Structure formats: structure tokens, C-alpha cells
Amino acid sequence: MVGIDDWSWKRGLHYGTLICDLESNRPIDVLPDCSVQTVWAWFEKRPSVEIVSRDRSSEYAAAISKGAPQALQVADVWHIGKNLGESVQILLARCRAEIRRGLQTQATPEQQSEDSDSVLRRERRPARGRLVELAQQGRRAQKLDRYEQVIELHQQGVKAADIASRMRIGERTVHRWLAHGSFPEARQRRRRPSLIDPYERYLISRWQEGYRNVAVKRDFAKSLLTGVMKG
């Protein structure tokens, strides 16, 4: 019985494959990459493997099927938990969407128009993975429920501090939502520019050429930053 997962040689740049013996709880091999051919060849030489625990990688699944067709493929505990969590998020997103559709019949024309505009704006965004999109819808629906409860309590005359206590959110959040006047949609995070951005292509090309000495890279980065600051 073995477990297989990706191994980071250089995070974000180079990944290999770590294989562990699940009976002895010890690593037995580290492959140079995560390709189907490499993993396939490793399993092909070991026909005694009976069970392989892996993540949800389609490449690992294909490699194991080719190299060890006799082995039973199973998901590891962490990914079982992740699958369960995503399934619950999707279910809640669907339930909340059905509730919203039921409540729209009681909404005013202005609210219906606003909801339609927000739907159109979301449809214009680049398509993402179905699971990611449904999870985002679930989180948005949960936040919208809290926002509407805050507004309802405020209209009933409940103080902001008491609303925060009941809803288990910060009092500053309550004040911010009340001052906003409408549901605050989440903003997309933007990556902050870095001083090293203009030299990113050059650094990557040097890395790919094999120049990976840490001291040289550090001195080169210092010289670049010094030149930028002087300029």
C-alpha cells in the first residue's frame, strides 16, 4: 500500500512526486516530476502494489491505471474531507438559490431590477470552474442573509452593539453595512505591483538556463533594487 502526492522542489517552479509506504509510514521514493510517463514507469516496475492512495489529480489517476492496473485507487483522508466540504457548500448554494427565487416574488420592482443587473454582471465575468463558482455563490448567499438580518434588526430599533452580539459579527461591520445603503458586494483583490516586476522575464529565463546560485541571485536582486531606487 502506497501513498502518492506532489512534492515541491521549488514552490511555484518545480514539482516532483513523493511516494510513501503506508504500512511503514516512511517515504520510499521521490520522482523528479509529476508527469504521467514518470509515475507510470515507477509503478510498472512494482507489480506488487495493491492499493494506491492519491489526491484528485487526473494525471496521477491515468499513470496508476497504466502502470498498476491491478491496484485499487483510493482518495486520502484529507481529500475525502475536502470533497465533503465542497459538496456541502454546493448543496447550501443550491438551497439558498431556491430560497432567493422564492423571495423574489415578494420583492419590489426596484429590487428585482437590481437583482437582474447583478446577475448580468456576474454572467459577463470570465467563466470559472463550476465548483469554485458554486462555492462563491454559497458564501455570497450566507453574507446576504446576515446583511438582511442586520437591516431588519436595525429597522426594529435594535442598537448596533446588540445587533453585533446577536449576529456574532463585529460592531464596525454592522456600522459599515448600515452606512453603505445596499448589500456590499465582495471586491476582487488586485495584486500589488512589485519593484521586481520589470525584470521578471529576465530572472525566469536565467533560472531556466541553470543559474540558480542563491548568492548570485541575491546580489543581482540588490543591484536591481539599488538601480531602481537611484533612478
Query: For the segment 84-97, what is each residue's pLDDT rounded down to a tens digit?
Result: 887 887 777 677 66
Q: Amino acid letter at 201?
A: R
pLDDT at position 61? 92
Say whether pLDDT at 135 is over 80: no
Q: Name the band, by pLDDT with cuts 50, 70 and 90, for residue 219.
A: low
Q: What is the pLDDT of residues 71-83, one digit of tens each?
A: 999 988 888 888 8
pLDDT at position 57? 83
Q: Which residue has the higher pLDDT, 129 or 69?
A: 69
Mean pLDDT of the chain: 78
Domain that includes residue 171, residue range: 79-106+130-180
End-to-end C-alpha distance for the chain, whole angstroms: 59
pLDDT at position 36? 92
Least confident of 11-15, 44-48, 133-137, 140-144: 133-137
pLDDT at position 16? 92
For residue 121, is it within any domain? no
Compute φ and ψ for 138, nearest 5 degrees. Answer: -65, -45
Tell me, what DSSP letter sits at residue 154? H
Work out how many domains the chain is built from and give that number: 2
Q: Are 58 and 88 members of one domain?
A: no
Q: Are 168 and 101 members of one domain?
A: yes
Q: How far apart are CA 29 and CA 41, in angstroms?
A: 13
Residue-wise DSSP of 94-124 = HHHHHHHHHHHTTS-HHHHHHHHHHHHHHHH
Q: How far apart are CA 171 and CA 46, in angstroms?
A: 61
- Look at residue 136 and give its three-state secondary structure: helix
How many CA atoms, within 13 angstroms, populate the side-chain half-sphere of residue 199? 15
To which residue does cell 434588526 refer? 153
Q: Are 97 and 144 members of one domain?
A: yes
> CB within 8 A of 66, min separation 6: which ones?
36, 40, 43, 44
Q: Are 86 and 172 members of one domain?
A: yes
To which residue does cell 516586476 refer? 197
Distances (CA, A) of 132 to 82, 90, 127, 129, 170: 13, 9, 10, 5, 27
Q: What is the pLDDT of residues 103-112, one digit of tens each?
A: 666 655 555 4
Provide the pairing of β-strand 51-54 with 26-31: unpaired
- Look at residue 196 and give its three-state secondary structure: coil
Q: Name the band, by pLDDT with cuts 50, 70 and 90, for residue 147.
A: confident
Q: Name the band, by pLDDT with cuts 50, 70 and 90, for residue 2.
A: very high
pLDDT at position 127? 44
To which residue does cell 463558482 refer? 133
In contact, 54 and 75? CB cutoff 8 Å? yes
For residue 191, is it within any domain? no
Instruction: Report the percent of the chain where pLDDT is more than 70.
Output: 72
Q: Are 23 and 46 members of one domain?
A: yes
Say whether pLDDT at 30 is over 90: yes
Q: What is the pLDDT of residues 45-63, one digit of tens each?
A: 999 999 999 988 888 999 9
For residue 116, is it within any domain? no
> CB within 8 A of 107, min separation 6: which ones?
115
Q: Are 17 and 68 members of one domain?
A: yes
- Name, of 27-36, 73-82, 115-124, 213-222, the range with top average pLDDT: 27-36
H or E, element range at 84: helix 77-104
